[in-house]
Amino acid sequence: MTEEQRPDEYSFELDTGTVDAILAAAEAGDAALLASLMDPLHAADIADLLEQVSSEERESIVRLFEPGIDGEILSEIDESIREEVIEYLSPKVLTEAVRELESDDVVDIIEDLEPEQQQVILESLEATDRAAVENAMTYPEYSAGRLMQREVVVGPEHWNVGEAIDFMRSHDDLPDEFYHMVLVDPKFRPVGYVTLGKILGSKRETKLKDLTEDSFSTILVTEDEGEVAYVFNQYHLISAPVVDADGKLVGIITIDDAMAVLDEEHEEDILRLAGVSDESRLSDTVVDTTKRRFPWLAVNLVTAILASLVIAQFEATISQFVALAVLMPIVASMGGNAGTQSLTVAVRSIATKDLTGSNVWRVIRRETFVGLINGLIFAVVMGVVGVIWFGSPVLGLVIAAAMVINLVVAGLAGTIIPVALDKVRIDPALASGAFVTTVTDVVGFLAFLGLAALVLL
């Protein structure tokens, strides 16, 4: 089915007409019309809408649609505007919204708020829920303790299927969504888990320990959330129990939370590779965006000055052969693009733990040979261009040689630099770009102009 043939109901994004109608209703102050337009939308779509509009439009929509703001919507809203949205809500609406959420979602909402707002939300929770959230907040930021939910379906390891089913049917305080029953020993240490599918599909007398999954793995409460996301993705987990230093069960992490972290990690890498702050959002103001991008532009200016200093050393050569000034950007640009290609592959492989000490030299050799082969191919192309364009076979030979040198160096730098930065515990996605660009620019200009000075003068 093509895009043109696909019916409107198969669209998975807000259409412009709906957005315009919502904004018009908000501007007119028509709460009833706004509610009729917003109620059919999924919580994630409402969150997207609030992130895409201006601050003034956001306030109008939230204040008019306030009774429809629930916990699911709050949990979907990007943290960059969540505090702003919460300020528009009355304590009553905020209280009702937060009470609907699991403990991990409450933690996700309040951890970036001001202490006053945190206190308002905490006071709205029941005593047991408040204690769970406050306990989670004692764990390090970006740790499994912040990511987990305290609501876990637990059963003794000696239970059978019938006892598990009776337990779940008789308790109305189970999580809204769960995938496993975690089995624990007498010291409350998890020893395995059983999927709901196996419980429902087995006879009542079947022992739960005979149905446990091979994928069972526990996660330490202080583990970094990036490592948690990697474990879920690597071993295809649906949920995983979280334990404290004594091995006792303290919570559980589910796949939706782990994949949200994985998505955030990918987004951060992309933004950092582009030299943009990983806190950048479409909702940011002009001033905020300028402040975040300025430092990286300043770094780029320094590297550009360094490349210019190399060019200045060959001022006499360039003045005698103006063609060199015309061809210089080609060598630097090709090297920069080749370096970025190797860099992107290396940074992504480091993030997914595919690039390790056991294969790093093989990858470096591969990228070097790729640079060499591409360099030779484009050397022939540019050699012909140099002869045809400027009628100088020698100039064609010079740019061909410079092209080979720079593309080989680009392949090396694009791999070695991020690996070296990772070894010294510097985020390769954040710092590699500036180093690789500097290397390819400097080497490109130095090779091209240096060879030109040796051969042409």
Q: Are 381 and 334 in contact (CB under 8 A)?
A: no
Do residues 434 and 293 share a domain?
yes
Helix (H, G, I), strand (E, B) or coil at 1: coil
Q: Give the helix/strand (H/E) hosting 156.
A: strand 154-156
Q: Give the helix/strand (H/E) hosting 307.
A: helix 286-312
Let me know if residue 358 belongs to a domain. yes
- The sign one gets for the Cα dihedral 247, 252, 255, 260 is negative
Do residues 309 and 440 share a domain?
yes
Rounded distance between C-alpha atoms, residue 94 and residue 110, angstroms: 12
DSSP state of 46: H
Nearest to residue 435, comparing CAs of 270, 302, 257, 310? 302
Is residue 448's pLDDT more than 50?
Answer: yes
- Residue 149 bridge partners (DSSP): 252
Do residues 190 and 118 share a domain?
no
Mean pLDDT is lowest, of 112-116, 248-252, 341-345, for 112-116
What long-range pairs does 357-361 form, CB within 8 A, spacing at least 24?
Answer: 360/415, 360/419
DSSP state of 140: P
Do residues 318 and 438 share a domain?
yes
Rounded distance between C-alpha atoms, residue 271 and residue 266, angstroms: 9
Structure token digits, residue 222: 């202080």
> In 313-427, where does DSSP find H-type helix?
315-320, 323-351, 360-390, 393-423
Block residue for tokens 């708020």: 113
pLDDT attached to residue 277 = 55
Q: What angle do CA 65, 68, 70 make, to 5 degrees?
A: 130
pLDDT attached to residue 276 = 58
Do residues 101 and 194 share a domain?
no
Strand order across the beta sheet in which 190-195 lies: 154-156, 180-184, 190-195
Average pLDDT over residues 151-165: 95
Contacts of 325 (CB under 8 A, 6+ apart): 318
Q: How many domains does the chain have?
A: 3
Give per-residue pLDDT as tens, 177-207: 899 999 999 999 999 999 999 999 999 999 9
Rounded distance between C-alpha atoms, residue 110 and residue 223, angstroms: 21
Let me know if residue 2 belongs to a domain. no
Structure token digits, residue 186: 């007498």
Q: Please give the residue range of the domain that contains residue 395.
A: 286-456
Let me know if residue 254 belongs to a domain. yes
Q: Are 392 and 323 in contact (CB under 8 A)?
A: yes
Q: Which residue has the higher pLDDT, 296 or 206?
A: 206
Do residues 164 and 261 share a domain?
yes
Rounded distance between C-alpha atoms, residue 254 and residue 237, angstroms: 8
Phi, psi dihedral angles at 239 (to 5 degrees): -155, 165
Let me know if residue 344 belongs to a domain. yes
Query: Model-level pTM?
Result: 0.66
Let me know if residue 399 belongs to a domain. yes
From 238, 273, 308, the end of a domain falls on 273
Block residue for tokens 């919502």: 22
From 83, 111, 138, the end of a domain falls on 138
Find the CATH number of the domain harbouring 84: 1.25.60.10
Block residue for tokens 């591409």: 374
pLDDT attached to residue 1 = 40
Do residues 122 and 29 share a domain?
yes
From 273, 304, 339, the end of a domain falls on 273
What is the percent of the chain with per-residue pLDDT over 90, rounded to a whole number?
37
Give per-residue pLDDT as tens, 47-77: 989 988 888 999 999 999 999 999 889 888 8
pLDDT attached to residue 198 = 95
pLDDT attached to residue 260 = 84
Do residues 267 and 290 share a domain?
no
Do residues 132 and 175 share a domain?
no
Structure token digits, residue 416: 């070695």
pLDDT band for position 7 (cuts 50, 70, 90): very low
DSSP state of 107: H
Find the CATH number of the domain harbouring 238: 3.10.580.10
Average pLDDT over residues 133-156: 90
Q: Are 99 and 71 in contact (CB under 8 A)?
A: yes
Give per-residue pLDDT as tens, 303-359: 788 888 888 888 888 888 888 888 888 888 898 889 888 988 888 888 778 888 888
Is residue 266's pLDDT more than 80?
Answer: no
Instruction: Please state the separation of Cα 108 from the chain's center in Å.
Output: 16
- Residue 252 bridge partners (DSSP): 149, 241
- Looking at every residue in the chain, the average pLDDT score rounds to 86
Rounded distance between C-alpha atoms, residue 391 and residue 388, angstroms: 5
Question: What separation in angstroms does the CA of 333 have from each of 214, 330, 349, 389, 438?
Answer: 51, 5, 24, 19, 12
Structure token digits, residue 9: 């109901």
Let me know if residue 77 belongs to a domain. yes
pLDDT band for position 370 (cuts 50, 70, 90): very high
Do residues 72 and 131 share a domain?
yes
Let me know if residue 393 belongs to a domain. yes
Let me know if residue 148 belongs to a domain. no
Find the CATH number of the domain harbouring 385: 1.10.357.20
Q: Are 183 and 212 in contact (CB under 8 A)?
A: yes
Do residues 387 and 437 share a domain?
yes
Rounded distance between C-alpha atoms, residue 56 and residue 63, angstroms: 11
Do residues 398 and 290 share a domain?
yes
